[in-house]
A = this chain, B = another copy of it.
Amino acid sequence: MLSYTFTEDKEFPLYEQLYQRIKEDIIERRLEPHSPLPSKRSLAKHLSISLTTVENAYNQLVSEGYVYPIYKKGYYVSNVQNVPMNTVRDDYLPEQLRVDKDKNGHSRLYIGDKTYTEMYMGTDNRTDYFADFSSNASDPATFPFSTWAKLNREILSTEHVKLMTNSPSNGMVELRYAIAEYLHQFRGIDVFPDNIVIGAGTETLYSILVQLLGFDKVYGVEDPGYEKISQMLESSNIKTARIPLDEYGVMPRELMKHNVNVIHTTPSHHFPTGITMPISRRHELLKWANADDTTYDDEANRFIMSVDRDDKYIIEDDYDSEFRLSGRPIPSLTSIDNSEKVIYMNTFTKSLASTIRISYMILPDHLRDRYYEKLSFYSCPVSTFEQMTLTRFISEGYYEKHINRMRTASRKKRDLLLKSIKSSPIAAFSEISEEQSGLHFILKISLGIPDTTFVSRCLENGINISPISKHSFMINYSSVPLDRIEEAVRRMAECAL
């Protein structure tokens, strides 16, 4: 029979001491897996404690899985190999945490003598680079804080009822309307606001899209391309196919080869290569989407279907159309699609701020109908407060001005970067491509040192830079302030040589 002695301790009642001791015996294998525990009554008698105390201890052990009951037989020891040892959350004891007032009189959560912030903030992702060429964050210098604050203030003081009214699942009609106007004027896309769905970033839009198009479809992603798209899809157990590109972009032949149903593509400006898909390839893609994949039946002297055109779609990701620094814009796929095959996606995370999570997609009519029928039970993930601010920002003309200012700022940064590189000692080993993108370019350096050494030397000097292939690096300058560019290039050159 189990023999334990107990201490008198108000903090640890008897049942908890008993529970702890039995638990230890189980964990340390002093009690065999699947052996029976003494009955509650006999253990209570043996230890001279109350039956309730034993009951409480046994219940706790059962609820944590250390012990299992067999109906009308009693209690048995679990095999603790099946109990993950991290269920013993000793590092979680409540006494580690306490709330106290800080010097400003605000309540703070303390862990020992330090607040959580003091203990953990230092271990967060480093964000104190001198220049971060791998971030898509926005430069605080270019965000229109005062306009945004003004619109915010106006809305918060006059629009109480609207701010508290739940928006439709696809977003407030006013915002969809403002976006439709903008697309008509600046992108040559004509769309009814009803076909627009507002999301909180590509993630939430994709989550809606796969529910609309099917989890059982094959989704093609550009290779190379945005890794995040395939990460999202694969993380949701969705079949993806990596589609290689030629100099015109996605190859329809490859789509057929992989039995692709839905292709995610960036025709106006492929990331990271910068390919702009020519109009001929765009038509070929639409043709692919509009045809059943067929095999030729010699006997019948005609084609028979192998993949159904009804399940084929093109997702046109127009993420940076606002930023092209040169070249005539090519008509979007969606504007030349007469067959309801293109889903257009765009986002304000690049053009406004990466931290304001508003994006949108345009659904063809039949998908719009399916959306309203099947998915309008969802709540729109974007708050009405920000939807309303953005609506005014667009419809009162601030967005257009902001884009122009951003373009100018980007061009200045790019020009200074290129000039600095050209006049630096690395000029002779460097090659630059994709410099018209307006958000990033690709720097190829024939280094005398391994790429990894270069990257880590840069890091030591406060420069964050991402390799994309051998000797090639992505220079994303959106978050780097103009006045740090010359110094950043100087440091990079130092690290390269």
Give A residues with C-beta under 8 Å from B.
Answer: 34, 59, 62-65, 68, 70, 76, 82-84, 86-89, 92, 94, 97, 99, 106-109, 116-117, 120-121, 124-125, 127, 135-140, 143, 145, 148-149, 152-153, 156-157, 160-161, 163-168, 173-174, 177, 180-181, 184-185, 190, 192-194, 200-201, 203-204, 207, 210-211, 215, 227-228, 231-232, 235-237, 283, 286-287, 290-292, 294, 296, 302-303, 305, 309-310, 336, 338-340, 349, 353-358, 365-366, 374-375, 377-386, 395-397, 479
Contacts and interface: CB of A to CB of B under 8 A. Distances in A.
A361 to B, nearest CB: 15
A382 B65 contact: no
A29 to B, nearest CB: 17
A404 to B, nearest CB: 16
B310 A378 contact: no
A200 B87 contact: no
Contact of A163 (B65, B87, B127, B143): B143
A164 B355 contact: yes
A273 to B, nearest CB: 21
A82 B338 contact: no
A127 to B, nearest CB: 6
Contact of A356 (B86, B353, B383): B383
A164 B143 contact: yes
Contact of A145 (B92, B116, B160): B160
Given A94-B190, A386-B386, A231 B156 contact: no
Contacts of A124: 168, 173
A76 B71 CA distance: 74
B302 A76 contact: yes
Contacts of A294: 68
Given A124-B173, A152-B156, A365-B89, A302 B181 contact: no
A340 B384 contact: no
A287 to B, nearest CB: 5
Given A137-B166, A235-B375, A160 B173 contact: no
10 contacts: A63-B287, A63-B290, A99-B181, A99-B184, A143-B163, A163-B355, A201-B381, A227-B377, A355-B383, A385-B386
A116 B63 contact: no
B164 A354 contact: yes
Contacts of A340: 84, 86-87, 89
A54 B412 CA distance: 47
A336 B59 CA distance: 12
Contacts of A140: 160-161, 163-164
Nearest to A66: B290
Contacts of A211: 235-236
Contacts of A164: 137-140, 143, 353-355, 479
A106 B349 CA distance: 24
Contacts of A382: 200, 357
A354 B185 CA distance: 34
Contacts of A160: 140, 143, 145
Nearest to A65: B290
A355 B65 contact: no
A429 B159 CA distance: 41
Given A83-B339, A152-B153, A357-B379, 9 more contacts: A62-B287, A64-B290, A82-B310, A84-B366, A92-B190, A94-B190, A140-B164, A207-B207, A355-B383
A291 B152 CA distance: 52
Contacts of A384: 355-356
A406 to B, nearest CB: 13
A34, A168, A201, A228: which has the most chain B beta carbons within 10 Å? A201
A397 B106 contact: yes
Nearest to A211: B235
Given A143-B164, A374-B235, A149 B157 contact: yes
Contacts of A286: 63-64
A109 B180 contact: yes
- The 10 residue pairs across chains A and B that have the minimum distance between CB atoms: A65-B290, A200-B381, A355-B384, A140-B160, A149-B156, A63-B286, A87-B339, A109-B181, A140-B164, A94-B190
A156 B76 CA distance: 61
